[in-house]
Structure 1
Amino acid sequence: MNRFVRIATGIALLPAMTGPLPVAAAQPLVAPLCSGGTVQIPIRAPTPGTSEAPCCAKGCHSGSRRKRLDRTQ
């Protein structure tokens, strides 16, 4: 591996090594509407010390609730 590739990969991995930046206050997301109005979508940051993890796609969308195909028809 040459020196340029090593430097480029180190620079590319720098954001992953530093982690997410702290957020002081979450500003609401303002989306414009076709009629000229706006909609404010509140964005809240997870409270430190709580376990508010996003739900797992496999747990929420498990195959056990799906209707099974009836092949006898």
Structure 2
Amino acid sequence: MLSLLLALIGLVYPFLPFDMDGYRQLIGFPLGAIGMVLGILGVVGLRSAKPLAAVGIGFSCLTLGVSGLFLLNYYVL
């Protein structure tokens, strides 16, 4: 559950309409990485919410990809 929550926050945060002088693009990477680790731990563990952890892993991958595109757009282009 926490992996999905962190991934969704990291996915939505770069699209917010305020700018923090380049820090907005960096927020998604730590949230996506922590969500990925928590999702993997949730899938491997003996818990009953394994499908939710798998969805969290998917959204964490999406968060890392979107954050990478935002960083590429901000720093390179």
Is the TM value for this pair above 0.5?
Answer: no
Q: Which is bigger in relative contact order (C-alpha 8 A, separation at least 6)?
A: 2
Range into which the TM-score falls when normalised by the shorter chain: under 0.3
Considering fraction of residues, name the structure with more helix.
Answer: 2
Considering fraction of residues, name the structure with more strand.
Answer: 1
Normalising by structure 2, what TM-score? Answer: 0.25
Higher alpha-carbon Rg: 1
Normalising by structure 1, what TM-score? Answer: 0.26
